[in-house]
Amino acid sequence: MSSEHFKYPVFGQVDYFKYNNVASQLASHTPSPSHSQELGAKKRTVDPIVTGTSVIAIKYNGGVVMGADTLLSYGSLARFNNIERMKKFGKSTIIGAGGEYSDFQNLSQVLDDLVVDDGCTDDGTTLSTTEIWNYIARVMYNRRNKGDPYWNSLVVIGHDNNKSFLGKVDLVGTCYQDNFIASGYGSHIALPLLRKAYKEDMTLDEAKTLIQDCLRVLFYRDARSSRFIQLSIANADGLVITEQIALDTDKWDSGDSAKKKKNQDGRKKKNNYRNDSTQVILEYGHNVV
Amino acid sequence: MTSVGSGYDLSVSTYSPDGKIFQIEYASKAVENSGTVVAIRCKDGVVMGVEKILPSKMLCHGSNRRLHSIDLHIGIGIAGFLADARQLVNRARSEAKQYKSVYGQPIPIKVLAQRIASYNHVHTLYGSVRPFGCSITIAGIDSTGPQLFMIEPSGSCLGYYGTSMGKGKQAVKNELEKINFTEITAAEAVKTIAKIIYSVHDGDKDKDFELELSWITRESKIHQLVPKEIHDNAEAFAKQALEEANLI
């Protein structure tokens, strides 16, 4: 796959680091192992291998909710079905990760060390969510400048001093805060839905429902997603990451009522389309909300 | 001291004819001048207490800490030169971090203690360095339960049920021998340590002191300073016990 096929940059397929050029030059010579002189012994993440997909989060009245499915894909293969993609850091922060999972694990270790160091200082303060978000933004931007990025998009939520925080950092170091954030495929599919459905001062239940609706639509549209999800909540009571939740997507029988069935007298029954929530969900992107 | 002027005390790389390395003994002297440190390994945790002698009345409360956290599950108590010990504390923190990144689990207390002891020991081998002028106690909880180690300037590293370092070392040891270590709880040990430290403090020779207490319990598995309320209670208990003893 060479980058000349692309007339315009396509996210995830841009050859940022000229990997393909180097590879094609190599191919014209004798095949050589990846640690060959030409390529250099340095290794970098030029392609994510085991990946998680979208993360979605919204602020509500009194906290922040975040949701992500528990699937890790190996290319297009649904490889690991039950992996948490959201992790607690310190007393007030949860980070949800999409992209290369091993990069996230590595970053997690860095952050865990940071939290322990901060605890050892024992100066009566703890790392706030804003500080952690800013720190990873610095790390991500640094790594991108080295041409060896952590291949993740990270959604950071937290609640300290009665203030909610919701921010995002991606693999090139772009960082921002917002009232609702969707990463990965969700930034294409779920963000428009969120823009329509978001309102200030939502209740926790409303926020949870909205996130689940978004993840459900993503399950229908994103081939790298799963219907098994987790929600995490940051509010004044602390941090919660829920057990796995199975989204109610078993609606494929909704067309059954439209099938032509024979009545007892042998005559064909009239079509009877069900008008239930299924259709609402399926048409989510078009008119409802 | 017989060693002074003999010429055998100039370097840590020279033995005296009767088999001593005087620089190590001098380092131990530095420890003996320090405020007393007491540590007790209980059935449900480890408690450490320090008699922190205040060289000036103008020091802020809580400065010059002698009890430090190394990782979530480990703490260190210091007797001797604070600056030397801080070097060991930094070393211990990086050892703990390195172990976690390699093996993916918290460092066992024994492993940490032995690594710090080795670090101490290499400072007794070369003429270009001097031994650390401090002893430390390492307290923590790992998969084998509560653990307590003491490391001396020589690099010796031994596990204890109860131990002490510094000025009042001998008097404290007499007190510690009365304790039933298989029965005592961390909550009781906090009071005991406060009482012992108040009783061995020599008010005539030394100026004021600040009591520092830290613990790690099976309940939280996190090393931290003893919460203020429990600390104050223990201190009040110690003062009262001291007064009663003086009346008799």
Where do we find the tokens 């200082």? A121
- Shortest Cα distance from B72 to chain A (angstroms)? 7
How far is A220 from A183, CA to CA, in rounded Å? 17
Cβ within 8 Å, pair B97-A116:
yes
Whether B93 sits inside 8 A of A109 (CB atoms) is: no
Asked if B225 and A122 come within 8 Å (Cβ–Cβ), the reply is: yes
Q: Are strands B162-165 and A72-74 parallel, antiparallel or unpaired?
A: unpaired
Cα distance between residue B104 and residue B87, in whole Å: 25
Query: Tens digit of pLDDT for each residue in A218-249?
Result: 999 999 999 999 999 999 999 999 999 999 88
Long-range (24+ apart) CB contacts under 8 A made by B177-182 are B179/B40, B181/B40, B181/B41, B181/B42, B181/B43, B182/B43
Question: Chain A residues contacting B, CB < 8 Å?
Answer: 109, 113, 116-117, 119-120, 122
What residues contact A168, with CB distance under 8 A and at least 6 apart? A153, A154, A155, A156, A175, A176, A177, A178, A181, A183
Q: What is the pLDDT of residues B106-145, one digit of tens each?
A: 999 999 999 999 999 999 999 999 999 999 999 999 999 9
Digit-by-digit pLDDT tens for chain A (289 residues) are 444 554 565 666 666 666 666 655 555 555 545 554 555 556 666 789 999 999 999 999 999 999 999 999 999 999 999 999 999 999 999 999 999 999 999 999 999 999 999 999 999 899 999 999 999 999 999 999 999 999 999 999 999 999 999 999 999 999 999 999 999 999 999 999 999 999 999 999 999 999 999 999 999 999 999 999 999 999 999 999 999 999 988 766 656 666 666 666 665 555 554 444 444 444 444 434 3
**In chain A, what residues touch B72 (CB-CB under 8 Å)?**
116, 119
Residue found by looking up tokens 């460092």 in the block: B107
CB A232 within 8 A of CB A245: no
pTM of the predicted model as reported, rounded to 2 decimal places: 0.82
Q: Do A120 and B225 touch (CB under 8 A)?
A: no
> B142: which 2 tokens?
């790992």
Helix ranges (H only) for B160-227 are: 169-176, 186-200
| Domain range summary for chain B, segments of one domain joined by + | 19-241
Question: What percent of the residues of chain A are helix, what percent strand, and what percent coil, each to the nearest 5?
Answer: 35, 25, 40
Q: Which residues of A belong to the active site?
A: 53
Among B139, B99, B134, smallest CA distance to B120 is for B134
Tell me the count of A-B CB pairs closer than 8 A.
21
Report the complex ipTM: 0.89
CA dihedral B116, B120, B125, B128 (to 10 degrees): 120
B→A interface, C-beta within 8 Å = 65, 68-72, 93, 97, 100-101, 224-225
Q: Which of A113, A119, A122 sits opposite B97 (nearest CB)?
A: A113
CATH number of A50-246: 3.60.20.10
Yes or no: say if A182 and A55 are a contact pair by the CB < 8 Å rule: yes
- Tell me the shortest Cα–Cα distance from A223 to chain B, in angstroms: 33
In chain A, which residue's Cα lies nearest the Cα of B93?
A117
Q: Give the CATH architecture of domain B19-241.
A: 4-Layer Sandwich (3.60)
